Amino acid sequence: MFFGSLTRVVRESVSGLPRAFWWLWTSTLINRLGAFVATFMTLYLTLERGYSASFAGLVVALHGLGGVISSLIAGVMTDRLGRRPTLLAAQASTAFSVALLGFMEHPAAIAAVALLVGMTSNASRPAVQAMMADIVRPEDRVRAFSLNYWAINLGFAVSATAAGVIAEYSYLAGFLGEAALTLVCAVLVYLKLPESQPAAVPVAPGTALAPETRLGTVLRDGRFMGVVGLSFLISLVFTQGSVGLPVAMGAAGFSPGDYGLVIAVNGLLIVVLQIPVSRFIEHRDPQLLLVASALLAGYGFALTAFAGSLWAYALTVCVWTLAEIVNSPTQMSLVVRLSPADGRGRYQGVYTMSWAVASLVAPLMAGFVIDRWGAGWLWGATGVVGTGAALGYWLLMRGVPVGAGGGAAAADALVGEVPVGEVPVGEVPVAPVAVAPVAAETVAAADVRPVV
């Protein structure tokens, strides 16, 4: 009975998605299988190179700064040049810069190349998210983003464990391994993924042309920027899993392999629970889901202050991982529906920037707090930030109706406050793509909403 139900859930979750989505999904999985730098940078700098937690925090912050810079640029490139060229350029340059970082020895060189790696590695995110919105039908987008997030964490669970073992013997091998797998992703994109960007059609004589979605349009979208701000807060908390946690565990006498095992719990739990939980929460009240996930994240990390063994650390990871499982698909469903077809790259770029800014601030905060007052104060701060994010979600989502559509209906209600003249671009049809028949001819239809 149980296995029959599980099989049905899996079959329903993966059926009906276009072939191009699965190639993009495969590229994501391969990319995350090689994730090494972001996970083990702090351990590499503090244990292998002997630098302080503050310097390690500075370098990781520069990596985050690179992401801040590139997210907006890549978002504009995604809309102007196309999804595919942006993705190819980002992955090829990431492979080169990651390999280069492994050979750097001077502190200034390490910092400079870490900035470059941050720029190149984050540049692919707006293109991936925009392409996924292009090629997947509106009613399947939440499911598609959940599956993609599942692939990210499946790869992360494997890479975190393997990288922990690799780091015991050679950090350089980890850098080169990530570079090689990123290059494989670029080849896969080149061979299998066509361009998916919506193509504008000629406007009939006498018909007013909808204004182009520019970066300023995104920044003036108050509801969307509210989501971005709250995403920054929740990202600030989640980032401590790869920034504050390894430093705190290292200071407590645990090895890189120990940290790899503990953080792998995060990926493994998401692999097991992401799909069934996503189906369970699909029609639930998004306000409740976002508030609850923010509180779970904040206090899940706060519990780390009381951990003294590997099992205790793993238990805290379980708590905040549940928050991540709930928050990710719920928030992404809002972001995708708030993004008009001709501005998806820019919208996704600004949204990606919230995570990039968190990657910049989080290591600085973690290094400063741990060096000055100890890890306990850092974990207390995560509880405060999580509470603030929960309050923000509650205020932002007040008055949003929850009907049969659950999160989707709520997202549509939020879009109702987009300024006049900035939404009709959703009427632009999607250009034909060489994918399965279920591909995105009707993608834009779901983005057509009344202008108020």
Distance CA 26, CA 46 (A): 34
Which CATH architecture does the domain made up of 15-197+215-447 adopt?
Answer: Up-down Bundle (1.20)
What ranges do the domains of the chain cover? 15-197+215-447
The amino acid sitting at 37 is V
Burial class (CB in 10 A: 0-12, 13-18, 19+), 93: buried
Tell me the C-alpha distance between 196 and 153, whole Å. Answer: 25
What pTM was estimated for this model as a whole?
A: 0.73
User: Which has the closest alpha carbon to 152: 25, 324, 329?
Assistant: 25
Q: Write down the residue that tokens 């699965």 correspond to.
A: 22
How confident is the prediction along the chain (452 residues), in pLDDT tens digits per residue?
A: 555 665 666 666 677 788 999 999 999 899 888 877 777 788 888 888 888 888 888 888 888 788 888 888 998 898 888 889 999 999 999 999 999 999 998 999 999 999 999 999 888 888 998 898 888 887 777 778 888 888 887 887 788 778 778 888 888 888 999 999 999 999 999 999 888 877 665 555 555 555 667 778 888 888 889 989 999 999 999 999 988 999 888 888 888 888 988 988 887 888 888 888 877 777 678 789 999 999 999 999 999 999 989 999 999 999 999 999 989 878 887 787 778 877 888 888 899 888 888 877 888 788 889 888 988 999 999 999 999 999 999 988 776 555 433 444 444 445 444 333 333 333 333 333 333 333 333 333 333 333 22
- DSSP per position, 331-379: HHHHHHHTS-GGGHHHHHHHHHHHHHHHHHHHHHHHHHHHHHT-HHHHH
What is the C-alpha separation between 163 and 158, in angstroms, rounded?
8
